[in-house]
Each structure stands twice: as structure tokens, then as C-alpha cells.
Amino acid sequence: MNNSGSALKNFIGGALTASSAAVSIPVMDPSTGKEIASVPLSSAKDVDAAVRAARAAFGSWSATPIKERAQVFFRYKTLMEKHAQELAALVQQENGKMLGEAMAEVEKSIEVTEFACSMPQLTAGEILEVSRGVECRIDRYPLGVVACITPFNFPNMVPNWTIPNALVLGNVMILKPSELVPLSSMRLAALLKEAGLPDGVFNVVHGAQEVVEALCDHPGIEALSFVGSTRVAKLVYARATSHFKRALCLGGAKNHLIVLPDAHEQMTASNVAASMSGCAGQRCMAASAMVAVGNVDHIIKRLCDEARMIVPGKNLGAVISQQAKERIERYITEAERDGATILVDGRHAVVAGKEGGYYVGPTVIDNVRPEMKIAREEVFGPVLAIMRAGTVDDALKIENANPYGNAASVFTQSGSMARYVAERASAGMIGINIGVPVPREPFSFGGWNDSKFGAGDITGKSSIEFFSKPKKTTIKWNPESKVNWMS
């Protein structure tokens, strides 16, 4: 099933299905600015067709024992390993990141799938004699049709945050990938089919706002997960829950790294540089703001040296679009105009032989004040805004005041200072001397505040709560009376 390099179709009921879309848009290779495919902007009609196919598959998939469902995902994991190079190349082509970064994404998808394969062990029910001769047991049930909406920055990994866990738990799914990076999802659909997933259990509907709204509104969908910007996460959360759906919507980020004077110079400098520039800064876990406590000029100097070694096209990928490049450069220009100091300037980057690519070089900006736009808003590019603070409490005030809360890190060699900051930072994922503190399975992924709407997290053990519902059964077989209070 090869659907790349062409006009994409939806994947419904196990087959490539023409979209009812009146409009298709080009899919670009951000590293060259050249068109590589076109994607249809599907309609509510296509969503309805996918819901019907998914609902038709739900009965037999949910009745398949979980150990059998997990077998499909053992095979899926093996297929992703077998095709890892090809999957990474596809991510690189549609997203513009470096091949090594794309491979890391595929590896994370494999790790999530390994976790899903252990669902039979993790979700074994609970049973207890709660009174003499009376038992209570808890069994987990799938929800039904779940919809998952994903962003452009991890075309392989973010869909895989939900696919294996939700499906092993017995749900059926409609995925709406970002219209900017729709190719990887089609390849995943093909691998799931090859792994033996029954038709209709996994469906892909391409499109944008109209499809997302139809997913929020459709009465045949039980739950919806969303990963993307905070603006859209709020809209989607409000709309899906207004239709009484279970919803979990992950939003944007403005991650603060607090650097104390005793931090290890080289480790801090290279970690911060890698965090702000990896995947061209288009990670919800990227370092976006650094709060320098006291005199850490030696670390900032080393950090700038590190940043200068990060070269567009060599070890720094492209950003997603020309529009994104212009937006990022505008943030830098406005910061300069507002009085910040540009220490390393990545504007107007051009890669020889790829002049049409959307590149922004690593950018380090000092003397940023908390009220500046660049300190408050998510830039989503390889840009680090440095703010100065006199004390660690002043630094925490800056971190706490930003409305996001995905991640925060502290760099220090003092255990007690690390703990002090970790306890007080207002974020769901904390790094201590780690620039990108992504929790690994079985720990779950998710932020706080305006970085997440809804209870629980999207991966790890927390995903079990989101993608299933507990049934509590109370049992008594022997007609004894007066031996227990439940007779």
C-alpha cells in the first residue's frame, strides 16, 4: 500500500479511500521547499464514513482477548524496527528534521509499542473478598471509537503515543494527522495492516479544522486526544467536552531552564544548546527561556560557542514552513527592537544547494526581560531567550509566572538547590541537569497549566485510565445469610 509521492487518500476500513474533499493542499519538503505530495482537506462526510467503519470493527476487536490484541503490536514493533531507516527518512522528508532526530523519533515509537505489548500484564484485573463470601472485581473495558489529532513536529512519534496503547486496550481509532506531515501516518497504517490489525480498527482521515470539528461533534466517538498548540487545544477541549466526550488536549510550551552559578560549565552549555536547537527548536520540550541566576557569564559564553557549532543543513534541520521561518525571525527582530542583545543570530540562514529550504540558525538572545513578547510566547524555533535573575527565588517567580507548564529544568551541582527548584517549578516534567526531560516508559508524558487540558497523561500508565473504563462487579454465590453485611 504505497500512498506517498502522490495525491493522498484517506485510510478507512482497511482500504485507501478517496476523500470527498473539494480542496487539496501541497505537502512540502521543508529542507528544499519543494512539493512532495498533496493532501485532501476532508469533510464531515469522511469523518462519518470512518466512524462507521470503526464502529463496525469495534465488536470483534474489543471481544478479542487482550493477549491476542497485544500480539499484533509485537509484530508492529518488529515491522517498525525492520523499516526504521525508511520510516526515519519519511519523517525527515516531510518534517525537515535531521535523519538522526527522525530516527530517535522512530525509536521512541518502538518504545511506546513495547510498553503497549505489556498491557496484558499491566491491566490484569483486581479481585478482593470484601465481605465473607463476597468478592469485588474490577475489569477494564475499552471506550469505543477514539479520535486522535496530532501536530506537525513528530509525524511518527506523536501518532504512536496513542495508537498502540489505545488499540491494545481494545479501542478502535480515527487518526487525524497534521496536514503538513500526513505521509508517516499512511505508512504506519500500512504497517499495522501488515501486522494483522483487522480492517476498520485503525483509520486515517486527512484534513484540517473541519475534520477536527467533525471529530469533536460526532456522537459515535467516545473520546478524543489532541496534541498541538494551546490556542487550538483549548478550542478542541471545549468543543469535545461540550459533546460530553472524554478529552485530553496537550498544548504548547515555554520551557524555562534555571541555571545556577555552580552548574557544570560544559555539561550545561552543551545540554542547553542541544535542547534549544534540536529538531530546529520545534519540540514542546525544547529549552525556550533560560533564567541565569547570578553570574553565569562563563556558561553563557560557552553556550554561544556550542550554538555557533550548530549549522543549518549540517546538524540543524529546517523549520516546517516559510511562514514559520518568517514568524521566528520576526520574534528575534522584535526582541532586538525591544532592547535585548542578540548574541548568536540565526536569521537569514541559507543552505547551499537547498536555497528554497526553510532554515533558521541557532539564536541566543541575552538581556530579555520577562514582559517582552519573546519571553512570554512560544516561538517554536531554535531560539533561546536569556533572562537575568538575582536569586533562585526571583528565577522561580519568572518561571511560575509563565502560563505554560510543560517542562522546566535546573542546572546545578547542589542536590538541595536542585530539589528546591524541582519542588517549586510549575511544570509537569522536570529536568535536573537535563535539557529535554522527557519521561521514558512506563512514566507518562504530560505537562501542567496551559500545556494540558484534561486529567491524566497521554502515554505510560496514565494512558490506561484515559483509554479504558473500569467495571466494578460485586459477586456472591453462596446463599448464606447473616455471615456478612452484604447478604
Binding site for ligand NAD (CB under 6 A): 149-153, 158, 176, 178-179, 208-209, 212, 227-229, 232, 235-236, 250-253, 284, 378, 380, 406, 447, 451
284 is catalytic: yes
CA-based R_g, the chain, Å: 24
Tell me, rounded to whole angstroms, the distance of Cα 206 from its chain centroid.
18
- Least distance to ligand NAD, CB of residue 283, Å: 7
> Least Å distance between CB 282 and ligand NAD?
7
Closest distance to ligand NAD from the beta carbon of 28 (Å): 14
The number of residues in the chain equals: 487
Q: CB of 98: closest distance to ligand NAD in angstroms? A: 18
The least distance separating ligand NAD from the CB of residue 192, rounded to whole angstroms, comes to: 19
Residue written as cell 485503525?
202
Residue 113 Cβ vs ligand NAD, minimum distance, rounded to whole Å? 18
Q: From the CB of 22, what's the least distance to ligand NAD, in Å?
A: 17
Which C-beta is closer to ligand NAD: that of 134 or that of 189?
189
In the complex, minimum distance from the CB of residue 482 to ligand NAD, in angstroms, rounded to a whole number? 56
**How many Cα atoms within 13 Å fall on the side-chain side of residue 337?**
8
Query: Would you say 253 and 447 are in contact if contact means Cβ atoms under 8 Å apart?
Result: yes
Torsion angle (degrees, nearest 10) of CA 308, 313, 318, 322: 100
Nearest residue to ligand NAD, scored by beta-carbon proximity: 228
Could you tell me the three cell numbers for 285?
Answer: 520540550
Pick between residue 420 and residue 448 the one whose CB is nearest to ligand NAD.
Answer: 448
Q: What angle do CA 317, 320, 321 make, to 5 degrees?
A: 120
Going by their DSSP bridges, the two strands 34-40 and 24-29 should be labelled as antiparallel
The active-site residue, picked from 136, 249, 284, 304, is: 284
C-alpha separations of 207 from 11, 13, 187, 201, 372 in Å: 12, 18, 17, 20, 35
Please identify every residue annotated as catalytic.
Answer: 284
